[in-house]
A and B are shown apart, each in its own frame.
Chain A
Amino acid sequence: MMILKTDKVGKKYLNKWALSNVDISLEQGKIIGLLGPNGSGKTTFLKLVIGMIRPSSGSVTVCGMEIGYKAKEMISFLPDSEFLYNWMTIREAGDTYAAFFKDFDMARFNELLQFMALTPDMKFKGLSKGMKEKLAIALTLSRNARLIVLDEPLNGVDPVAREQILGAIVKSFSHESTILVTSHLINEVENILDEAYFLKEGKIVLHGSTDDLRSERNKSLDELYREVFAC
């Protein structure tokens, strides 16, 4: 079962192609990395997937459906900016999600909070940047969505919080869904990835299973990344 499939998808801004001819197929039950430096088109790609923008060419389907109301229900997206109110407590944030999304799993949310050392009584206003990120991750991972999209989940958080976030991702993994993670912190994410796509200047330049990429070239993903994006 293909969770996400794009066929020669492209996005043009004025006369510049931010993405061109991107073919990506994500199978069910995998964790997949979309890796590339700032400005390589990662976020543009994610915006196409969640239906925030429309492709200039090609097509995107989620579980075989064109992006629309039905397909969007199957996607849980981690926004990269703050989206909760300051007066809210963590518990209220969970309640809000539960009210919005039918597939929200409150038991899993509480388990993830505990795992990442957050307590439901904390007010959003008083949280550090790392704690806010962990809360956002917990909310996103607690939906039983078919496709979970995490945009730079490790940005701006300290090493301990990074470990907790990676642990939370592994904990929430299910064979029913697929997790798509973007990052430029390759070293940190490579151990949790089944497959990786390298995106350079809007094009996929390398794709493969992480184990194959490592053993064929005798290099870690991090080293490969430096090689592909140097120059």
Chain B
Amino acid sequence: MIKFNESSPIYLQIVEKIKADIVAGKLKGGHKLPSVRDVAESFRVNPNTVQRVFMELEREGVAYPQRGIGTFISEEAGLVEKLRDTQAQKYTGRYVAQMQELGMGKDEILENVRKVLEGNENDDTQD
């Protein structure tokens, strides 16, 4: 179950979630995606929304349909690397935009990233 954020279309948020699963290795090339109905039930969203998710994934070349069988994750070489790159850029872009809204400059942003990362490492060692 994912918590949807307020204002962007839900289908795009599910697309992002599936891309994240591909990057993280939870979904692999050649894997069959669950049916529209199953995805709709598990996210508690409208089946038409899920239909749009699949169309978007196909349009971007992330998945391909096989008539009468289902939709599969593309086995195209370099897909994971490409998604890794675009998704990382997208997430970082959002963060940077928010920091700039606070009036932070380049050095401050980098400094903050470093602080959080180091903080996380310390937490890990304490556990």
**Chain A interfacial positions (CB closer than 8 Å to B):** 29-31, 163, 166-167, 170-171, 173, 191-194, 210-211, 214-215, 217-220, 222-223
Q: Is the CB of A191 within 8 A of B4?
A: yes
Decide: B46 and A223 in contact? CB cutoff 8 A.
no
Partner of B46, one of A191, A217, A220: A191
- Which one, B6, B11, B45, contacts A170 given CB within 8 A? B45
Q: Which of A192, A210, A214 contacts B44 (CB 8 A)?
A: A192
A193 adjacent to B6 (CB under 8 Å): no
CA distance A211 to B9 in the complex (A): 5
Q: Looking at the complex, which one of B4, B6, B37, B46 makes contact with A31 (CB distance below 8 Å)?
A: B46
Find residues 34-49 in chain B having any chain A CB closer than 8 Å to their own CB: 37, 40-41, 43-49
Give the chain A neighbours of B49 by CB distance below 8 A. Answer: 191, 194, 211
Since A211-B49, A222-B6, A223-B6 are in contact, a sample of 13 more A-B pairs with Cβ atoms closer than 8 Å, ordered by chain A residue number, is A170-B44, A170-B47, A171-B41, A173-B46, A173-B47, A191-B10, A192-B44, A192-B45, A193-B46, A214-B6, A214-B10, A218-B7, A219-B7
Give CA–CA (A29, B48) in the complex, Å: 8
Q: What separation, in Å, do the CA atoms of A217 and B8 have in the docked complex?
A: 10
Count the B residues whose beta carbon is within 8 Å of the partner chain — how many?
18
Tell me which residues across on chain A come within 8 A of B48, comparing CB atoms.
Answer: 29-31, 194
What is the predominant secondary structure among interface residues of chain B facing chain A? helix
Provide the residues of chain A in CB contact with B43, threshold 8 Å: 191
> B11 → chain A, closest Cβ, in Å?
7
A31, closest chain B residue (CB): B46
A163 to B44, CA, bound (A): 8
Task: Indicate with 1 or 0, residue by residue over B44-61, a CB within 8 angstroms of chain A CB atoms.
Answer: 111111001000000000
Chain A residues within 8 Å of B8, by CB: 214-215
Closest-CB distance, A108 to chain B (whole angstroms):
13
- B residues with a Cβ closer than 8 A to A are 4, 6-11, 37, 40-41, 43-49, 52
A167 to B40, CA, bound (A): 8
Please determine whether A170 and B41 come into contact, CB atoms closer than 8 angstroms.
Answer: yes
State the Cβ distance, A57 to closest chain B Cβ, in Å.
33
User: Are B46 and A192 closer than 8 Å at their CB atoms?
Assistant: yes
Alpha-carbon distance between A29 and B49 when the two chains are bound, in angstroms: 12
Residues of B within 8 A of A171 (CB): 37, 41
Residue of A29, A30, A167, A194 touching B41 (CB-CB under 8 A)? A167
| In-complex Cβ contact of A214 among B9, B46, B47 (8 A) | B9
Please name the 4 residue pairs, one residue from A and one from B, whose CB atoms are nearest each other, closest first.
A220-B6, A211-B9, A218-B7, A191-B45
Q: How many angstroms between the C-alpha atoms of A211 and B46 in the bound complex?
A: 11
Q: Which of chain B's residues has its CB closest to A223's CB?
A: B6
* Docked complex Cα distance between A215 and B43 (Å): 20
Q: Which residues from chain A contact B10 at a C-beta distance below 8 Å?
A: 191, 210-211, 214
- Find out whether the CB atom of A215 lies under 8 angstroms from the CB atom of B44: no
Contacts of A29 in B (CB 8 A): 48
- Chain B residue numbers with a CB within 8 Å of A217 are 7
By a CB distance below 8 angstroms, the chain B residues around A219 are 6-7
